[in-house]
Homo-oligomer: A and B are copies of this chain.
Amino acid sequence: MKISFIGLGIMGKPMAFNLLKEQSLDVVYNRTSSKTAEFQEAGVDVARSPKEAAEKSDVILTMLADSSDVEEVILGTNGVIEGVKRGSIVIDMSSINPEVSKKIGLPLQEKEVSLLDAPVSGGEKGAIEGTLAIMVGGDEKVLNSVRPILNIVGSSIARVGDLGAGGYAKLANQIMVALHLEAMSEAFLLAKKADLDFNKLYKAIRGGLAGSHVLEQKIDNLIEEDFNPGFKIDLHLKDLNNALKVAESQGIDLPFTKNIQKSMEEMAEQGYGDLDHSSLYKYLTE
C-alpha cells in the first residue's frame, strides 16, 4: 500500500514527517515545491501534481487550508480525481466546510474511490508529537483499513458518522472552544477589575462546574498576557465562518457563535489575526 501526502504546511509537514519515520510515506506533493526538498533527500517521491501523487499511491492524505483548496486539489485540473486508481482511499484531514466534503465525495465515489473526512484537533504541537485527536466521517470498514496510518499521526481516532461528520464534529468543537475563551475572558476581566489574583481565582474555580480544558491550557496566557500562538485567530475565524455557513444552509440560528465570529473578524481586521485565540481577552480589555 503506497501512501501520498498532499499539503506540507504548518500541520501537514510534521504529520508527513511522522509517516516518513514509520516508513509509511511514498509520495509528497506541495504547491510551493521548496517544502518538498527535505522529503526528496529522504528518498520520498515528489509528485509534480496532485494527479501524479494519486497515480502513484493507494492512500492519499490531504492537509490544506480551506474548502476551496481541497476542492481544487481533488477535483481541479491535474487534481487527484484525474489520477486516482479504483479502490483508492482519500483521507482529507483539513478543517473545511463538511458540506464541501460531501460534495467532493460524489465524483470520487463514481470512480470507486472512498473519501474520509478526518479533521484534527491538537494544533501544531499535536502534529509534531503525533498526538492529534482525529474526528472521522465516512465508511467504517474503509476507516478500519487505514487506522494503522492514522495512528501514526494521531493518538485518538473517533468515527462520528458518515462522510462530513468529522467536519461537523470539528465545527462543534471550535464553536465550544471559541465561546469558552470568551467566557474565560469576560470572567477574568471582571475579576481583574475587582483586584482578584488570577492564580487564586483559577484555583478556586477549576474544580467546579466552570472548569474546562480552555481554562487549564490558557490561564497562563492571561496571567502573563502572552498571546503568541498556539492556535491563531485567523484559523479559528475560518472555522467559525464554516460553522455559520453550515448553520445558514440548515436554517438554524447560532446567536453566540455569530457574535464570536464577529469579534474574531474585527480582531483579524485590527491585526490580531496571527495571535493566539486566547487574545480574545486582550481584545476585550483594550
Contacts and interface: CB of A to CB of B under 8 A. Distances in A.
A195 B215 CA distance: 30
A250 B194 contact: yes
Contact of A176 (B168, B200, B203, B212): B212
Contacts of A174: 210
Contact of A173 (B122, B156, B210): B210
Given A186-B257, A250-B194, A212 B180 contact: yes
Interface residues of A, number: 64
Nearest to A174: B210
Interface of A: 98, 121-122, 133, 135, 156, 158-161, 164-165, 168-169, 171-180, 182-184, 186-191, 193-197, 200-201, 203-205, 207-215, 217, 243, 246-247, 250, 252, 254-257, 259-260
B209 A161 contact: no
- Summarize A's interface: helix, strand, loop or mixed: helix
Contacts of A255: 186, 259
A174 B208 CA distance: 10
A257 to B, nearest CB: 5
Nearest to A132: B208
B209 A169 contact: no
B196 A160 contact: yes
B177 A191 contact: no
Contact of A259 (B164, B172, B247, B256): B256
B196 A161 contact: yes
Nearest to A171: B190
Contacts of A196: 160-161, 165, 168-169, 172
B179 A201 contact: no
B190 A243 contact: yes
Nearest to A255: B259
Contacts of A184: 176
